Structure 1
Amino acid sequence: MSDDSRPSPAGVLPQAGTRIAAVIPAAGRGVRLGPGAPKALRTLNGTPMLIHAVRAMAASRAVSLVVVVAPPDGAAEVKSLLDAHALPGGTPGGSWGRTDFVVVPGGDTRQQSVKLGLDALPPEYEIVLVHDAARPLVPVDTVDAVIEAVREGAPAVVPALPLADTVKEVEPAATPGEPEPVVATPERARLRAVQTPQGFDRATLVRAHETVTDNVTDDASMVEQLGLGVVVVPGHEEAFKVTRPLDLVLAEAVLARRRLNDGF
């Protein structure tokens, strides 16, 4: 691991009585990456993206449980995959060292899959992270920053980066490829590109999933619709989402740089 990815120091252990879990929805097909295996099972440096994502959550000393939400017909395959990549000290079908994991079948949509992951959490878990399997390289410092902000009282926290490009609001064309008229130019300084993991007070996230069904872009937007505050902490450039073939090339380059920096 690189400095950004090594396990958290003792100073960020969870407060007494607070248990933290991560839910990773990995039931999508990832059509933009082309035909083949589901996106979460595509490999980076020979290891499925899902395994990288689970390891990123387990790298935080605060996270004691990871719930992986598999494709509806692929839970057994995903469980076998996790067993095959277990970390030292783990047990087949149960844990990676200090972090336990469970696999549950997902739903037809990401929202349904996250809800099924929440339903699988034991009652003692009070803070929940929701992390995209397609963001396999998020550094542990980012994970811990999200957790700390929730522990300090925020009901919902998202990591995010300032935008490098000017953004235009347009009137979408009726036919793809046609010119689109610009409607407005939002003030870039007020905009952020949101990443994951997003962190939540569990009761808040459960209530959001029970009551919000429209205009859902991410889990934090559901909390916004409850009228509750969402705060932003700094994201990281390596927490990008692997969506297109070029993203796979970039992710491989990041892993190569990490190996070079760590001398192996």
Structure 2
Amino acid sequence: MARMIALVPAAGTGSRFGAPSPKQYLQLNGKPLMWHTLATLAAVPAIDEVAVVISPQDEWFDDFAWALPKLSVHRVGGASRADSVAAGLAALACADDDWVLVHDAARCCLSVAAAERLIATLADHPVGGLLALPVPDTVKRADGDGRVSATVPRNGLWLAQTPQMFRAGTLVRALDGGGADITDEASAIERLGLKPQLVEGDAQNFKVTYPRDLALARAILAARDAQ
């Protein structure tokens, strides 16, 4: 029977954040930011294993008590997201038909409901797909001086989120050889000529990228805890 594995690449240094440690280890409501990410994935009944991929040189992970069910840790992270995902897949020795949900460590406000919606929608899909949001705002293209050069029609435009869910065998094949143009797993799958399914996500499932994002994440998580 095919397994359902959540894979969280977390080998990045978070250089844009400007913190003394990678952002996945910053404190958020009394826990490391990434703890919230992993706890949500572990709470999804359909997920059999939550695998976090960290750098072999990671100096922070062991400083925290994770105590989460289903969690496995793999110190095989690489220089890029694609490298870390590929190395994680190899370490997990996935069967070709296992489903893999790759999720950003910094999307700590993912809900169990959104993950379950993705899994239910793609259970019998021949390719797989990803959570995403239709672009709600008017989109402008800038020139080299930061001025508007064009207004881009937003019809058909979506903002990619994670998890992104694909069969392990297809994902291994898509990531083979890497490439700077692989910005997420879906883009790698697209290079094979396949068309991932878009599954509507949730605006709260945003990626913590800058220090100012922490306040919003704290508020979202605190509101959920209060329910």
Fold conserved (TM > 0.5)?
A: yes
Give the C-alpha shift of residue 18 in structure 1.
2.3
Alignment deviations for residues 22-81 of structure 1 (CA, whole Å, 9 cap, x no partner)? 11011111122213111111121011111111111111111111111112301x742563
* Matched residue, 1:38: 22
Matches within 5 A, 1:113-132: 113-124=84-95, 126-132=98-104
Give the C-alpha shift of residue 181 in structure 1.
4.7
Alignment gaps of 5+ in structure 1: 1-16, 88-95
> Do structure 1's residue 180 and structure 2's residue 147 form an aligned pair?
yes
From the superposition, tell whether residues 227 and 248 of structure 1 become closer, same or farther in structure 2 (CA, over 3 Å).
Answer: same
**Aligned-residue CA RMSD in angstroms?**
1.8
Give the C-alpha shift of residue 229 in structure 1.
1.3
* Matched residue, 2:35: 51
- Name the SS of the counterpart of 2:179 in structure 1: coil
Give the C-alpha shift of residue 217 in structure 1.
1.6
Alignment gaps of 5+ in structure 2: none
Paired letter, 1:50:
M
Alignment deviations for residues 74-108 of structure 1 (CA, whole Å, 9 cap, x no partner)? 1x742563xx2314xxxxxxxx1xx2423223111
TM normalised by structure 1 equals 0.80
In 1, Cα distance between the equivalents of 2:128 and 2:178?
Answer: 15
> Do structure 1's residue 161 and structure 2's residue 133 form an aligned pair?
yes
Alignment deviations for residues 165-196 of structure 1 (CA, whole Å, 9 cap, x no partner)? 2112233x2xxxx33351x3222131111111
Of residues 112, 119, 134, the one that matches 2:83 is: 112
Identity percentage of aligned residues: 40
Give the C-alpha shift of residue 260 in structure 1.
2.5
In 2, Cα distance between the equivalents of 1:50 and 1:204?
Answer: 27
* Matched residue, 1:78: 61
* Matched residue, 2:211: 245
- Name the SS of the counterpart of 2:48 in structure 1: strand
Range moving further from structure 2, 239-248 or 120-129: 120-129
* Matched residue, 1:236: 202
Alignment deviations for residues 112-141 of structure 1 (CA, whole Å, 9 cap, x no partner)? 111111111133461001000000110011
* Matched residue, 1:101: 72
The structure whose Rg is larger is 1
Of residues 32, 51, 64, the one that matches 1:67 is: 51
CA contact (8 A) 1:156 1:223 kept: no
In 2, Cα distance between the equivalents of 1:214 and 1:243?
Answer: 20
> Do structure 1's residue 202 and structure 2's residue 168 form an aligned pair?
yes
CA contact (8 A) 2:83 2:178 kept: no
